[in-house]
Amino acid sequence: MGIDPTKSSSFDPSDRAESLLDHVLDEDSPVTQKALANQAVVEDELRKEQIIKEESKRIRSRVLFITRDVHVLEKDSSLQKHFISLQEVFDEVHIVFLSHNKNQKSQSIRLAQKVWVYPAVARRFLALPFAAMRTVQEQLHFTDGFRPDLVVALDPFESGVSGYRIAKKFQRPFQVHVGEDFFVPHWNQHSPYRKWRLRFARYVLKRTQSVRVETDTLLHALQARYKKIKDTAVLPRYFNIQESSAAVSVPVKKDLYPQFSFVILFVGDLTQDSTLFRAMDAVRAALRTPTVGFVVVGDGTAKESFQKRAQILGIEKQIIFTAQTDGMIPHMRSADLLVCTDNNSKSEDVIIKAAIAHVPMVIAKTILREDLFRDGEDAFLCDANDTVDFSQKIMKLLNTNILRRQFARNAQEVISTRVEEKPEMYRLAYRDSIEAVLYAAQEETATKKEKVS
C-alpha cells in the first residue's frame, strides 16, 4: 500500500523544519550547510558602494547583531536609538531582525549612515535560523567576502542559534548576550516555543566562548552551569540622566490620578519573573484607606495573573494597571511614593528615574542601590524577600510627610552628584566589551599555532 503524500510528515513544512533543526542541533552537519547555501546578488548596489568605499582606511570593526526584538523597527525607540548611536564606535552596524510574522516586510532598512536592519522573515518559528542564514548570504556576502568582522546574538535562543551558525560558516568570532534568567523553572511557561528556546540556549552556550549578561545574578548563574566558557562579563549599563532630567523639567500638564489623594507606584515588566506579587502584598495595608491608590505601570505575559491576585486580595478597586505608552516620568510625577521590589538591571533604571523625578522610594537592596543610597536618609532599602519590612516602611512614609520630602530631596542630590553618565563613555565601554571577543579569538588562534609547531 503506497504512502499518501498529503498525510506524510515529510510534506509538512513545520515537520521538515523541526527535523532539520534536530539534525543541526545534534551535530554540525555539512548537509545543513549545503541546504542553506543560497549565494545571491545584493539588489541594493548603492548601499554596497557606500559601505565599502573607505575600506582601505577602516580601523574600526564591523559588527553584525542578531535580534528578535521588534523594537528595532520602531522609529525613535530606545533600542533603535541605541543601534544608531553605535555607528560612532563601530565602522558598520548590521542588524538581522528575526520575525515569523507573515505581515513583516523583508526589505532592508537603512536607519543611519552606517546602520542597516535586514528582516529575516519565516512563516514558522523553527525556520528562523535558516531565514537568518539566507538573509546574511543575500545581504552581507559579497565577492570580496563576508562584511562583518564579528557576530553578536542578543539572546541565546533563536538569535543565538542563528548567530552561532552564521559565525561558524563565515569563520567570525561570536558573542552571545543573555538578558533573561531562563534557568528558573517557571521561565516563559506560557510560550509555545519554550522547549525549543531552552534547547537552543543549551546548544549555543555549550559552544560559545564569549558571553555577556545584564546582571550579576545572571553572571553567577551562567558561570555555575557553563564552566568552560572562557570570556564572561556583565555588560556596561547606561542611565540617560540628561534625558530624564529634561523630561522632569517640563511643566506638569495634569495629575494622571486625581481620584486618589496618595499614589503608590510600581514600574516593571509583568512577566513570570516579576516581583509585583510582593509589592501587592506590601501595599495591602496602605490600601485600607480608600483614597490611597496603587498604580502599576508595565505589561507582560503575567499581567492577567496579577489582576486576578488583586481580586483575591480584595484591592482591585484601588489598583490601576496601565501600559508604559508615554514613558515612566509622567507617572512618576503623579506619584507620591515608588515601591520597587524588583532587583534586576531594568529596575535600576526605574530607580534612577524616580530619584531624578523627586519621588521618595522604598526599594529592594542591590549592590548599586546600597552604594548610592543611605537607608533611612535617602530612601528605604529592604531585603528583597522581606515583605513585612516593605509594608512597614511604606506605612511609615505614607504617614510622615517630612520624611518623604527628605527622601525626595536627598535621592535627587545623590544622582546629580554621584552618577555621572556620558553617552560617549558608555558607547566606548560597550564596544570594548563586544570587541573583547576579537582578542580572545586571536589568542586562541595563536595558541593553536604554538601547539602545531
pLDDT recorded at residue 191: 86
Interval 193-248: pLDDT, tens: 999 999 999 999 999 999 999 877 788 889 999 999 999 998 887 777 777 777 77
pLDDT band at 190 (very low <50, low <70, confident <90, very high): confident
pLDDT recorded at residue 194: 93
**44/173: higher pLDDT:** 173
Interval 321-330: pLDDT, tens: 998 766 788 8
Residue position matching grid coordinates 509555545 = 192
Interval 27-83: pLDDT, tens: 554 444 444 443 333 334 333 443 433 443 557 899 999 999 998 998 888 899 999
Cβ pair 172, 164 in contact under 8 A? no
State the chain's mean pLDDT as an integer. Answer: 85
pLDDT band at 446 (very low <50, low <70, confident <90, very high): low
- Average pLDDT (256-272) is 92
Q: Could you tell me the residue ranges of all domains in the chain?
A: 16-47+59-234, 242-418
Residue position matching grid coordinates 545623590 = 414
Distance CA 337, CA 334 (A): 9
pLDDT recorded at residue 156: 97
pLDDT recorded at residue 160: 97
Interval 2-22: pLDDT, tens: 444 434 444 455 566 667 777
Report the share of the chain in percent with pLDDT over 70: 84
- The pairing of strands 141-142 and 150-153 is unpaired
Distance CA 205, CA 147 (A): 25
Burial class (CB in 10 A: 0-12, 13-18, 19+), 27: exposed
Radius of gyration (Cα) for the chain, nearest Å?
25
pLDDT recorded at residue 184: 79
The helix or strand, by DSSP H or E, that contains position 338, with its residue range, turns out to be strand 337-340
pLDDT band at 451 (very low <50, low <70, confident <90, very high): low
pLDDT recorded at residue 16: 63
CATH topology identical between 16-47+59-234 and 242-418 = yes
Distance CA 428, CA 325 (A): 30
pLDDT recorded at residue 326: 64
Distance CA 314, CA 281 (A): 11
pLDDT recorded at residue 271: 83
Check whether domain 16-47+59-234 has CATH 3.40.50.2000, yes or no: yes
pLDDT band at 292 (very low <50, low <70, confident <90, very high): very high
Cβ pair 136, 165 in contact under 8 A? no
pLDDT recorded at residue 33: 45
**167/189: higher pLDDT:** 167
pLDDT recorded at residue 300: 85
Q: By C-alpha distance, which of 410, 391, 411, 387 is closest to 399?
A: 391
Out of 17-26, 90-99, 365-374, which region has the weakest mean confidence (pLDDT)? 17-26
**Greatest pairwise CA separation for the chain in angstroms:** 87
Interval 393-418: pLDDT, tens: 999 999 999 999 999 999 999 988 87
CATH superfamily of 242-418: Glycogen Phosphorylase B; (3.40.50.2000)
- Average pLDDT (375-385) is 95
Rounded to two decimals, the pTM is 0.66
